[in-house]
Chain A
Amino acid sequence: MAYLELDGVAKQFGAQTVVDDFSLAVGKGEFISFLGPSGCGKTTTLQMIAGFLDPTRGAIRLEDKDLTAIHPAKRGLGIVFQSYALFPHMTAAENVAFGLEMRNVPRNELAERVRAALAMVGLAGYEERHPRRMSGGQQQRVALARALVIKPSVLLLDEPLSNLDAKLREEMQIELRQIQRTIGTTTILVTHDQNEAMSLSDRIVVMSQGKIEQIGTPQETYEKPVSAFVSQFLGKTNDFAGTIDRTAIPARLVAGSWSAPAPAGLSGPVTVSIRPERIGFGDEGLGAKIVTRIFQGNHWLFQCDSECGPAIVIRQNDGERQPAEGDAVRLTWRPEDMSVRARTVT
């Protein structure tokens, strides 16, 4: 049964609908990511759960209780803001202690929990530091400790890692995931970084212009995107224009010189979507010429000019000889690696 449930939630600012018909059921202990481009309504949705904004329509329930009827100060959610919003006039320990003070936790227990929370995020010994004297990563940890120390029913994270440099972000991702696994807090993470969403979450909610495009595990959304938007947004992809010919027997899916048995259902013009790392070079298939070849350490990136337009191919650097720039090649892939959608001809 769903722990946190959003049911047809919508938010309007004046005439502008920012979030529309947002329905999601989050299980207890689950790690969910809201993923989408800037301005798609991720923060707005999160703020409605937090209670800083009231939904225009729809219901939000936590353990079957109507959350929107509860004042934000009484919801008991842990929130980490994009800007951290630490209290600059308090030390790290005072920041973390604030939520416990509001709950009238006895002195001894409070001190112990603050110490444990700071130790958990790797900040033991930084108790007396003021936020302005800490690095971005350290501030981020204080914000996380401050949100977690109150033992929140749900942890809401609004792009908490976006201010960190690439290396630190990766470290924090691993740490965040570990902490979440250890204490098992139901977590919603807002991000526009697809790698972050994929490496951290149990399920991803891909959003576009206030609407849910797809909900699924990282693997599902990556490998079986339901729309062009999802496949484009989750990493690089190749979209080839193809046709399904039902007159042939058996029916065939054709894209340039590449063809395969047609999948069931569709017919006529379709889009064939295939990830660059699933394409190989073979003796037959889609005709292409290699325009550029870029060495990227553990893999090669090829930009090709194919019969169906530009294509990118990624090959593992496994010691095999790779085609050179200017070579004519044939691109092939297994039918189960592609996803096929109906295409409207313009």
Chain B
Amino acid sequence: MSGLAEERNARAPWALTAPALMLFVGVLLVPLAMTVMLSFHDWGQYKGIEPVFILKNWQEIATDSYYAEMFWRTFRIAILTTLLTALLGAPEAYILNRMSGRWKSFFLLVILGPLLISVVARTLGWALLFGGNNGLVNKLLMSAGVIRFPIPFMFTETGMVVALAHVMMPFMVLSVWAALQRLDPQIENAAMSLGAGPVTIIRRIIMPQIMPGVLSGAIIVFSLSASAFATPAIIGGRRLKVAATLAYDEFLNTLNWPLGAAVATLLLVALVLIVVGSNALIERRYAEVFR
């Protein structure tokens, strides 16, 4: 009797999570497994996809330096974007946090507002400002005689980093903001009463405490930047490919699905390893303080 009840109780969580679990398996795990399998299939210009098991695509990625360069570029852009958002976003969040009531909510809205606008629209904005001879800023600066040639922005890594950093900034600011909320409101006064100046307070009291927030923001920004598609597609176009745009091209232009799948799988695996690894490192480093 009680054994039966216990058994039913043990089954209840599974039964209750079943719908969500099925959705998860159906729309995430199955396509993921199929993508991985696809990366081992063969492909030819005329024969299309052949469901056999070969390592051709993986060999191509491993040996052709084109792919190494492309992955290196992807992660370089992601790292630079992360650094830029951390460098600008952390002080931004700190200043925001020190503002008084009304201004605080206003500027929080300004920072989060872009999240409501599509990434495509935001990136196209950069293109409108800096895109070649017709870009608004370029036109103005050239007519003012400040520059003779348009500022190189489109199809450059710098442009991609700047545009990506703009898109990713809210994630960093929110993450640091959350860490700042956990600070004791009197902590700066405490440090001040012990004789610390403003620079010392920021360097020795504030920074160490918001570092976990900066790092978790960095993980979010890094993984989103490395797998970003819209911004690299618009700024980088066909000339400057990253992993996501390359996979897209293999799927939709070359129609070499297996190769595209291999690129996508490699990106996913690399990202998971980096994110899980750095997360573990951060948790170990800050275990003493934030348990």
Contacts and interface: CB of A to CB of B under 8 A. Distances in A.
Interface of A: 50, 52, 72-79, 81-89, 98-99, 102-103, 130, 132-133, 146-147, 150
A98 B193 contact: no
Contacts of A88: 209, 289-290
A142 to B, nearest CB: 12
A83 B209 CA distance: 17
A53 B191 CA distance: 16
19 contacts: A72-B189, A72-B193, A73-B195, A73-B196, A79-B193, A81-B189, A83-B185, A85-B186, A85-B189, A87-B190, A88-B209, A88-B290, A89-B208, A89-B209, A89-B289, A102-B194, A102-B196, A132-B291, A146-B194
Nearest to A97: B194
Contacts of A79: 189-190, 193
Contacts of B186: 81-83, 85
B193 A87 contact: no
B200 interface: yes
Nearest to A71: B192
A132 B182 CA distance: 13
A71 to B, nearest CB: 8
A150 B191 CA distance: 12
Contacts of B189: 50, 52, 72, 79, 81, 85
B139 to A, nearest CB: 49
B87 interface: no
Given A85-B184, A102-B200, A130 B289 contact: yes
B280 to A, nearest CB: 20
Given A77-B193, A82-B186, 7 more contacts: A73-B192, A81-B189, A83-B185, A87-B187, A87-B205, A150-B194, A150-B195
Interface in B198-240: 200, 204-205, 208-209
Q: Is the interface of A mostly helix, strand, loop or mixed?
A: loop
Contact of A83 (B184, B208, B291): B184
B208 A98 contact: no
Given A81-B189, A130-B288, A130-B289, A98 B184 contact: no
Contacts of B190: 79, 81, 85-87
B197 interface: yes
A76 B193 CA distance: 7
Contacts of B197: 73
Contacts of A77: 193
Contacts, number: 69
Interface residues of B, number: 22
B119 to A, nearest CB: 36
Closest 8 CB pairs of A and B: A99-B194, A102-B195, A85-B190, A85-B186, A89-B208, A79-B193, A81-B186, A89-B289
Contacts of A130: 288-289
Nearest to B211: A89
Interface in B40-54: none
Nearest to A91: B288
Contacts of A81: 184, 186, 189-190
Nearest to B198: A73
A85 B205 CA distance: 11
Most buried by B among A75, A84, A88, A146: A88
Nearest to B288: A130
Contacts of A89: 208-209, 289
Contacts of A99: 194-195
A73 B209 CA distance: 21
A307 B185 CA distance: 53
Most buried by A among B184, B190, B288: B190
Contacts of A132: 289-291
Given A85-B187, A89-B209, A103 B289 contact: no
A77 B192 CA distance: 10
B192 A72 contact: yes
A146 B187 CA distance: 13
Contacts of A83: 184-186
B201 to A, nearest CB: 9
Contacts of B196: 73, 98, 102
Contacts of A86: 184, 190
Nearest to B195: A102
Contacts of B289: 88-89, 130, 132
Contacts of B288: 130
Contacts of A133: 291
A206 B290 CA distance: 40
A253 to B, nearest CB: 51
Contacts of B194: 73, 98-99, 102, 146, 150
A150 B209 CA distance: 24
Nearest to A99: B194
A76 B291 CA distance: 33
B214 to A, nearest CB: 14
A138 to B, nearest CB: 16
A75 B196 CA distance: 11
Interface in B141-200: 184-187, 189-197, 200
A89 B205 CA distance: 8
A104 B258 CA distance: 65
B193 A50 contact: yes
Contact of A103 (B192, B195, B204, B208): B195
A98 B185 CA distance: 18
A247 B289 CA distance: 76
B178 to A, nearest CB: 16
Interface string B269-291: 00000000000000000001111
A132 B286 CA distance: 12
